[in-house]
Amino acid sequence: MIKVVIVEDDMMFVWKLEQMLEELGQYEVIGTYRDTISFKQGISHHTPDLILMDVRLETERSGLDLAVQLIDRNIPILFLTQYADEKLYEEAFQLLNTSFLVKPFHKFTLDAATHLLIPEKFGSLAATCLSIKIGRKEYPIHPKEVCWVESTRNYCTIQTEQKQFVIKRSLKSLKAILPEDSFIFIHKSFLVKKDLIKAIDYKAQTVLVGKDTLPLGRTYVKFLHKLFEKIG
C-alpha cells in the first residue's frame, strides 16, 4: 500500500480524493490537513510515500513554500491546483520529487501521475504509464484512460476518456506499452480498446468505439467477426 498524506483546504475535494484512492485500491490515506499549521504539526508523526498538496492554501503559493521546507525529508509531492498558472507550474517543477496536476482530473490520471512520480513503489507497473510532453508541460496518462489510438504518418492521436493528445510517436511503440489483451487493431492505423466496441457495421466498414465511429480495415473484418462470434 502507498501511504498518502493529503493537504487540501477544500474538504469536498479531500473526500473526492479519498474516494479515488480507495477505488484504485493500492493507496492508504494516513493523514489529511486543510492548512499549513496543522500539516506542520502532523507531518512530524507521519512518513508518507507521497503527499498530495494543493498549491494554494492560505496564500497563493503556500503549498510551494511548504514543499521547500520539506526538501530535507525527500518526500515526493504531487501538487494539485485548479489554476493553470504557468509561473506556479514552472516553480513546482524546479523542485525535486514533484509533479503537477490541474483539477479536475480522472482517478486514472491521478494513478498515472503517481506511477511516474514514485516508480520504485510500483516496480514494472510504472513502465505502463505514458508521459505525454506538450511544450513544457507533461501529462500522465494511464493505459485504462486510453479509448483508441490513430496513427498518421509520424504522429499518433491518443483519445482518452476526457482529452485528445497528438504526439510524435509511432503506433508500434504505443502498442508495446498498452495491455495486449485489452487493445486490438480494427485498421492498420487504428488501435482500440476491445471493451469499448459497441457495434460493428461490416457493410459500411465502420466500428463504433464508445461514441466515435472509426474505419474498419478490410483485412480485419474476418478477425473481428471471429473474435466477437467467439465472445458472443
Query: Smallest Cα–Cα separation from 187: which of 165, 166, 169, 209?
Result: 209
Q: What is the pLDDT of residues 17-64, one digit of tens each?
A: 999 999 988 899 999 998 888 888 888 777 899 999 988 776 656 777
Q: Mean pLDDT throughout 94-121?
A: 84
Q: Mean pLDDT throughout 63-69?
A: 80
Residues sharing a CB contact under 8 Å with residue 85, sequence separation 6 or more, in sequence order = 55
66 and 118 part of one domain? yes
* Domain final position from 96, 114, 141: 141
Domain CATH number, residue 27: 3.40.50.2300
Domain CATH number, residue 170: 2.40.50.1020
Instruction: Give the pTM.
Output: 0.60
Q: Give 134's pLDDT tier (boundaries 50, 70, 90).
A: low
Residue 167 or 86, more confident: 167
How many Cβ atoms sit within 10 Å of the Cβ of residue 104? 10
121 and 204 part of one domain? no
116 and 156 part of one domain? no
Residue 212 or 231, more confident: 212
The domain tally of the chain equals 2
- Are the C-beta atoms of residues 194 and 185 closer than 8 Å to each other? no
Q: Mean pLDDT throughout 113-122?
A: 81
20 and 97 part of one domain? yes
Q: Give 85's pLDDT tier (boundaries 50, 70, 90).
A: low
As given in the structure block, the three cell numbers for residue 92 are: 513546482
Q: Name the percent of the chain lying above pLDDT 90.
A: 30
**Beta 137-141 vs 155-160: how paired, if at all?**
unpaired
Give the structural domain span for 195: 144-231
| CA atoms of 121 and 141, how far apart (whole Å) | 18
As given in the structure block, the three cell numbers for residue 193 are: 480498446
Q: What is the mean pLDDT of the chain?
A: 83
171 and 70 part of one domain? no
Q: Which stretches within the chain are classed as H helix?
A: 11-24, 36-43, 62-69, 86-93, 107-117, 171-177, 221-231
108 and 179 part of one domain? no
Q: Give 232's pLDDT tier (boundaries 50, 70, 90).
A: very low
